Structure 1
Amino acid sequence: MNAWPYPRWIAHRGAGKLAPENTMAAFRVGAAHGYRMFECDVKLSADGVPFLMHDATLDRTSTGHGIGGAQSWDVLSRLDAGGWHSRAYAGEPLATLESIAAFCLNNSYFLNIEIKPTPGEEAQTGETVANAAARLWANAAVPPLLTSFHPEALDAAKAAQPQLPRGLLLDGLWKGWLETALTLDCAAVVCNHALWDSSTVLQAKSAGFRTLSYTVNDEWAAERLWDLGTDGIITDRVDLFSPGS
């Protein structure tokens, strides 16, 4: 991407830890704190519906049990995805990518979709999520940014919808990370914030990538990243960092 249209601050999973992650409630809380861009995790139900959830299993963030991707959307849609967080959010349902897209598009918000496949479904998830994103944002000025830790998912997204911007997520600088991001025609590299230093930022920027960081919850870490010249920060602390800064 020659022009980078996204804000510098990105709310992690909607609102960090202030609301049940990856739910509509979280997006509303993040927006209430002034955030205009959000990150979320998207996987597929057993019948192919893209929905928001971080973990492979349902147990931590819903009343369901077992592998989320093994359940139909009819079953998933009836789970409570808010009560685990606090009583105030009891009864909050799981969100679909379609519902999050409507929220973002109707409010001129930006979205980072992390493709979070159920293990073994990397290519299918990448393709399906990319096709859904292309359809939902067909008339939008700015498309969502698709990211993943799984090169197979990004490769499938690229094959399906090459016009959508992609970002390679890294929790370690494994051999060939830069070459992989180039091969996938990524627009960005999104690192654990501790991995960025003057050398890695130079490598990424020299290759034409934007540099983003997760998950930054301390002021000193944010200041270090801005001093390094990175382009975006994903944070849980929507209550601490002003997205206008």
Structure 2
Amino acid sequence: MGNGIDQALSADWPYPRLVAHRIGGKLAPENTLAGFEVCGRLGYGMVEFDAKLSADDQIFLLHDDDLDRTTNGHGPAAQHTWQQLASLDAGAWFDARFRDERLPTLAQVAARCASDAIAANIEIKPCPGRDEITGRLVALAAKDLWRAQKPLLSSFSFEALRAARDAAPSLPRGMLFDALPDDWLGTVRELACVSLHADHQHLTQHNVRTIRDAGLRVLAYTVNDPVRARELAKWGVDMICTDRLDIIGADVVG
């Protein structure tokens, strides 16, 4: 990497600068194992993905509360058992060549991260009314499934991240925000977070410096413009989460 910013990322921060949003970004069906092929081909060493619970509390990957956009299923995911969810096609919506790609379990993703030596940012994405149980079960599972490098947990849900903290305090946590609220520092300190994750459109050089001066790392999402990625890297943003794995590489962020 070779510049001052990257050299400042000490041994207590093992995560790479670039993070593949929903595993494959816009190059593979999101939140599926197919995205790992893209990550390997384009040299990405970290993935971000969304974890939620089925009706019978199996942990699987899906962004939306409903199944309709990214599978051939219909209705709320939380109303389906894992047996029902496991039969769905989660790839054909993206491209016919991904037909019969399945929704993966957290265990399957953990195994792939281990075999490919890829770090993970697990976004805890509870279905409505299931914040606490989702945070707790995801954290407990992640603690057991990731044996080498610890995954970084994150969530927009304070309740989910608090439950994750209580269930697996040894796992690092990052609070997700859209725009930064006035009380962001109190929130991340209460949850004992190591990082703050924010929409890049609301990040400025000043607030990046303020966040880092508070002892936190910074993740910016979802950055799909190389010029903006380069700017954020110069400001000291630690992780840049992107859909555009094909145009934002190590040569862009230094």
- Give me the TM-score of the superposition, normalised by structure 1: 0.96
Q: 2:61 corresponds to which residue?
A: 52
Q: 2:3 corresponds to which residue?
A: none
Q: 1:208 corresponds to which residue?
A: 215
* Worse-superposed segment, 16-25 or 26-35: 26-35
Q: 1:195 corresponds to which residue?
A: 202
The one-character-per-residue Cα deviations of 1:76-132 (angstroms, maximum 9, x if unpaired) are 000000000010001111011100000001221100000000011111100000000
The one-character-per-residue Cα deviations of 1:168-216 (angstroms, maximum 9, x if unpaired) are 1110122311110111000100110122112211221121100110000
* 1:212 counterpart SS class: strand
Q: 2:17 corresponds to which residue?
A: 8
Q: 2:158 corresponds to which residue?
A: 151
Alignment of 1:182 with 2:186, yes or no, is: no
| Matches of 1:24 and 1:107, distance apart in 2 | 12
Alignment of 1:227 with 2:239, yes or no, is: no
Query: What is the deviation of 1:2?
Result: 7.1
Q: 1:109 corresponds to which residue?
A: 118
- Which residues of structure 2 form unaligned runs of 5+? 1-9
Q: 2:224 corresponds to which residue?
A: 217
| Matches of 1:229 and 1:134, distance apart in 2 | 29
Task: Output the amino acid matched with 1:207.
Answer: A
Alignment of 1:38 with 2:51, yes or no, is: no
Q: 2:5 corresponds to which residue?
A: none
Q: Which 4+ runs in 1 deviate beyond 2 A? A: none
| Matches of 2:238 and 2:191, distance apart in 1 | 20
| 1:76/1:243 CA distance change after superposition, 3 Å | farther
Between Structure 1 and Structure 2, how many residues are aligned? 243
Q: Is the 8 A contact 2:229 2:248 kept in 1?
A: no
- Which residues of structure 1 form unaligned runs of 5+? none
TM alignment of 1:117-132, pairs within 5 A: 117-132=126-141
The one-character-per-residue Cα deviations of 1:108-164 (angstroms, maximum 9, x if unpaired) are 110000000001111110000000000101x31x10000001111100000000000
* 2:52 counterpart SS class: strand
Alignment of 1:27 with 2:70, yes or no, is: no
Q: 1:241 corresponds to which residue?
A: 248
* CA root-mean-square deviation: 1.3
| Matches of 1:215 and 1:69, distance apart in 2 | 26
* 1:32 counterpart SS class: helix
The one-character-per-residue Cα deviations of 1:8-32 (angstroms, maximum 9, x if unpaired) are 0000111111110000011222222
